[in-house]
Amino acid sequence: MKRGLALFLAALLTALALTACGGGGGYSGGSDSGAPAASESQTAYDSGGGDDWKAAVQEFGFDAPAGGAGEPAGPGAAPDGGETQAEDRLASAKIVYTADIQAETQDFDTCTAALEDLVDGLGGYLEYASAGSGGDGSRSASYTVRVPAKEFRGFLKTVGEISHVTSQSRNADNISERYYDTESRLETQKTKMERLQMLLSKAENMEDIIDLENAISETEYQIEQLTGSLRHYDSLVDFATIELRIQEVLRLTTVEEAPPTFASRLGNAFTGGLRSFGDFLQGLAIFLAYNWIWLLFLGLVLLVVVKLSKRRQIQRTAAFREARERGNGFFNRKKDGPKNPDDKQP
């Protein structure tokens, strides 16, 4: 048992040492230039070694994070200095473009149709779309738009032409470090898989075979995870993401310059006040038209409450008058008592 594990470790260390020498002091891709031949692996397998081949694999660096000392961060990484190197680094950068837009329109149907035609024309798609109407009857729509990254600026410009943009924010997130680190990890895991499969074909001890198969299964899982991460990054880089909300309005929001004189400011304030009052009356009319059933129901409830209150008041008044006419209680004592305390009774 111990001799088998010792031989196994020696084979693995020899293969990894040859790979490290061929890579120039650090693994930087998936090159096969340092891969040992089958005869070399067999000779190393027969030479003897330590006790735990798993620890040796981890210690050598297969499971360590990529991007460490002596290892480039990615294809765009280069030593300092030189305009060409800076341009290459920028060309290989992985940038994720995002934007958030709030827009208004007076023609909702035309605007939304033009937006969908624009997305199709640029080769993009609508990842999410929803539309609805408010209590005042105005409609709104929310979109998550994905367009090719090279069409990002053109899309933002065209949206400002088919609608009235009230606010806009955009962001460019450089994920090059994360992307190339994941890519390097993936290449490392692929190389590890090749070594494990090669050693599995040479193994004869059943326990070693089981351990190698378990290690291969774990490595396959890591490869799938890293491959999925790279696909997700590629999707974010290749297609920009825009969150867009369009609101239907009666009057577009305008940004007016400050008037130079007091008379101009006073006139604009007077005009704005009349416009706001007109908008208020329109909104009130729409509200009454939209909620007239509830208002009618509330009016009927108030009418019933008022009638019941009046009826109860009439009943109380009648009871009070009846008690007074009978002359009982307080009214009788008050009537029979002396009018003046100084008067003497006979």
Count of C-beta atoms within a 10 Å radius of residue 170: 14
Which two three-digit tokens encode residue 332? 């009788």
Contact 65/181 with Cβ under 8 angstroms? yes
Q: How confident is the model at residue 62 (pLDDT cuts 50, 70, 90)?
A: very low
Considering only CA atoms, which of 171, 170, 178, 154 is closest in space to residue 94? Answer: 178
Reported pTM: 0.55
Task: Categorize the per-residue pLDDT at 316 as very low, low, confident or very high, splitting at 50, 70 and 90.
Answer: confident
CA dihedral 45, 49, 51, 55 (to 10 degrees): -80
Displacement of CA 192 from its chain's centroid (Å): 36
Query: Residues with Cβ < 8 Å from 89, sequence gap 6 or more?
Result: 76, 77, 78
What does the alpha-carbon distance between residue 159 and residue 163 come to, in Å, rounded to a whole number? 6
| Token pair listed for 249 | 């309005």
Report, as an integer, the average pLDDT of 251-264: 70
Residues 285/279, Cβ–Cβ less than 8 Å: no
Most confident of 117-131, 242-256, 258-272: 117-131
For residue 195, which of 36, 45, 56 has the smallest C-alpha distance?
A: 36
Is the pLDDT confidence value at 45 over 50?
A: no
